[in-house]
Amino acid sequence: MPGHQNCVSVQRVVSLDVERFLSFRAGGLTSNAESFRVGCEDDRVLGRDYWRERLDRDYVVAAVSDNDAWIGIGGFSRLVGHRLMHKGLIWGMFVTEEARGLGAADAIMDALVAHARTHVRQLQLTVMGDNSRAIAFYERHGFRRYGIEPDSVRLGDAYADEALMWRIVGVVDP
């Protein structure tokens, strides 16, 4: 996928990394609370065991800087059931503010798509309707907006729309 030229490495995140993962994710859910459909309180309710199991079941990657610090994360889940298992979900994309625009998000998405391609035919994701930067990023990675869910997310007393996006990744009969 054409994008930024910087070379960023990615590593798979598994259950052993749960503490580091949850702490990094909490940073994103806090600093960019308006960009997510979930909050830190949801992760607390779900608990460590839920996340350990999910990290081993899903495919989650972290982008890593030269000095081994995580600078971004993103996840892929395959939908469950014979009639839905040709589809996958991209979730939890977050890159630290200072690492944005430098290729970390591209490296994460490229890794997720490369993995997805061997498991599913198509990918879907949801993004807050006013998150123009994320939408531009997903469009550059081949996602197309196919709808808007009105009032999808409740934020205090207000409701926000979400954009629904999808793309084919190429496996016809996974």
Ligand X SMILES: CC(C)(COP(=O)(O)OP(=O)(O)OC[C@H]1O[C@@H](n2cnc3c(N)ncnc32)[C@H](O)[C@@H]1OP(=O)(O)O)[C@@H](O)C(=O)NCCC(=O)NCCS
Q: Which residues bind ligand X (CB under 6 A)?
A: 3-4, 28, 32, 35-36, 93-95, 100-101, 104-106, 127, 131-134, 136-137, 140
By Cβ distance, which residue is nearest to ligand X?
105
- Smaller CB separation from ligand X, 58 or 106: 106
- Smaller CB separation from ligand X, 4 or 44: 4
CB of 12 to ligand X, least distance (A): 18
Cα R_g (the chain), whole angstroms: 16
CB of 54 to ligand X, least distance (A): 17
- Smaller CB separation from ligand X, 7 or 136: 136
Q: Which of 50, 79, 40 is CA-nearest to residue 166?
A: 79
CB of 134 to ligand X, least distance (A): 4
- Smaller CB separation from ligand X, 18 or 90: 90
Rounded to 5°, angle at Cα 147 from 108 and 25: 30
- Please report which residue ranges of the chain form alpha helices under DSSP H: 18-31, 40-57, 104-117, 132-140
| DSSP 8-state code for residue 3 | -
CB of 137 to ligand X, least distance (A): 4
Which 3 state secondary structure label does DSSP give 170?
coil
CB of 87 to ligand X, least distance (A): 17
Put the strands of the sheet holding 70-78 in their side by side order. Answer: 9-13, 59-64, 70-78, 87-95, 122-128, 158-168, 144-155
Which 3 state secondary structure label does DSSP give 88?
strand
- Smaller CB separation from ligand X, 15 or 124: 124
